[in-house]
């Protein structure tokens, strides 16, 4: 009964919804980009590096100009740089994409730590923008319509990604190379080019997510700022069955778990700190175990394409 009471207390607390959407927002930025990339048949372990690079570049951009917009744009550019390396190594030089991704994660953790120690950029959280009437909706109003203004970029990104994948020729070709690259190649589609382009999109989205994490939530850079969010975003795509709505639902679920961990102490419940700290990752593992074998991935996910080979 105590556990059920705790869940009810959390569900009836407005701050819990606000915290859940804050945590989920970074995941949505990264996961939407990764969803597009995985529909083309690529699997980018380097999402963590893209978010981290975006956060650091966002800090540098704000430190140089005092402008949040510049920080976000530089964050997108930094994510694009990471994705460019990932794409060229994986889909031009045919290096193992898992090894490249893990290497980039380690490399950019070291690079950003070194550069931060040298330059120590200062930054802040962007101002809140409350949408009239909508922000007054009980429980969820502030969570969805009363956050720092970069949060609202999600309302543009999500429908744009859907339109890009399902309503453009480029999106049709991306889905084709993800399902059957040999058939797509026979049709005249440059398979590896489309895969590289989808990774660039993932880099831009993840870099935007990193800049939002810094300028929309934390306000100060440190090398542990990402804290595994890139890997959780990868799991959200799998959890969502490689659909956009499922991916967003997965991000909201993981965001809710993080919110649950932080909201309970504020309501007076005493918890095992070590268990609560590991809860998001436990849920991630359970989600992988429960759903990874029940959903159908793109037919050629994580398989390198070599012309003439099946």
Q: What is the pLDDT of residues 234-257, one digit of tens each?
A: 989 988 889 999 999 989 988 888
* Band (277; pLDDT cuts 50, 70, 90): low
pLDDT of residue 242: 92
**Half-sphere exposure of residue 114: CA atoms within 13 angstroms, side-chain side:** 6
Which has the higher per-residue pLDDT, 208 or 291? 208
Exposed / middle / buried, residue 167 (Cβ in 10 Å: 0-12, 13-18, 19+) = exposed
Give the model confidence (pLDDT) of 194-203 as tens digits: 999 999 999 9
pLDDT of residue 115: 94
**Whether pLDDT at 12 is above 80:** no
CB 160 within 8 A of CB 32: no
Q: Which residue has the tokens 């499922």?
A: 246
Across the range 78-88, mean pLDDT stands at 96
Across the range 165-193, mean pLDDT stands at 95
Among candidate residues 267, 257, 268, the one with its CA nearest the CA of residue 229: 257
Quote the percentage of the chain above a pLDDT of 90: 60
pLDDT of residue 293: 66
**Whether pLDDT at 1 is above 50:** no
Which has the higher per-residue pLDDT, 227 or 282? 227
* Band (4; pLDDT cuts 50, 70, 90): low
Quote the percentage of the chain above a pLDDT of 70: 87
Q: What is the pTM of this model?
A: 0.92
* Band (292; pLDDT cuts 50, 70, 90): low
pLDDT of residue 55: 96
**Whether pLDDT at 267 is above 80:** no
> Which DSSP category does 217 fall into?
I
> Which DSSP category does 167 fall into?
S
CB 206 within 8 A of CB 79: yes
pLDDT of residue 198: 97
- What is the pLDDT of the chain when averaged over all its residues? 88
Across the range 85-89, mean pLDDT stands at 95
Across the range 78-85, mean pLDDT stands at 97
pLDDT of residue 238: 87
CB 40 within 8 A of CB 299: no
Q: How far is CA 247 from the centre of its chain?
A: 10
CATH 3.40.1620 at 14-120+143-291, yes or no: no
Q: Is the Cα torsion angle 216, 15, 224, 50 positive or negative in sign?
A: negative
* Band (146; pLDDT cuts 50, 70, 90): very high
Tell which phi-psi region holds residue 303, choosing left (phi > 0), alpha (psi between -120 and 50) or beta: beta
Which has the higher per-residue pLDDT, 137 or 273? 137
* Band (6; pLDDT cuts 50, 70, 90): low
* Band (7; pLDDT cuts 50, 70, 90): low
């Amino acid at each position: 009964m105590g556990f059920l009471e705790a869940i009810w207390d959390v569900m009836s607390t407005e701050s819990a919804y606000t915290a859940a959407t804050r945590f989920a927002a970074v995941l949505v930025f990264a996961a939407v980009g990764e969803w597009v990339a995985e529909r083309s048949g690529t699997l980018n372990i380097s999402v963590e590096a893209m978010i981290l690079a975006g956060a650091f570049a966002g800090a540098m951009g704000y430190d140089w100009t005092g402008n949040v917009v510049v920080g976000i744009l530089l964050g997108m550019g930094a994510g694009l740089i990471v994705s460019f390396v990932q794409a060229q190594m994986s889909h031009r030089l045919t290096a193992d994409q898992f090894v490249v991704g893990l290497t980039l994660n380690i490399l950019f953790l070291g690079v950003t730590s070194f550069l931060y120690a040298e330059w120590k950029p200062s930054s802040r959280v962007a101002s809140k923008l409350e949408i009239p009437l909508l922000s007054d909706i009980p429980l969820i109003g502030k969570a969805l319509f009363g956050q720092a203004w970069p949060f609202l970029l999600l309302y543009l990104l999500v429908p744009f990604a859907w339109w890009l994948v399902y309503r453009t020729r480029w999106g049709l070709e991306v889905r084709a190379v993800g399902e059957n690259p040999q058939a797509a190649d026979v049709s005249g589609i440059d398979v590896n080019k489309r895969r590289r382009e989808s990774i660039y999109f993932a880099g831009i989205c993840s870099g935007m997510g990193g800049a939002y994490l810094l300028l929309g939530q934390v306000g100060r850079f440190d090398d542990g700022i990402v804290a595994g969010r890139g890997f959780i975003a990868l799991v959200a795509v799998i959890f969502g069955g490689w659909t956009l709505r499922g991916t967003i639902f997965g991000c909201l679920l993981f965001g809710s778990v993080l919110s649950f961990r932080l909201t309970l102490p504020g309501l007076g419940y005493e918890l095992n700190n070590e268990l609560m700290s590991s809860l998001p990752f436990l849920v991630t593992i359970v989600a992988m175990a429960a759903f990874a074998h029940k959903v159908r991935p793109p037919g050629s996910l994580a398989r390198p394409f070599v012309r003439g080979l099946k």
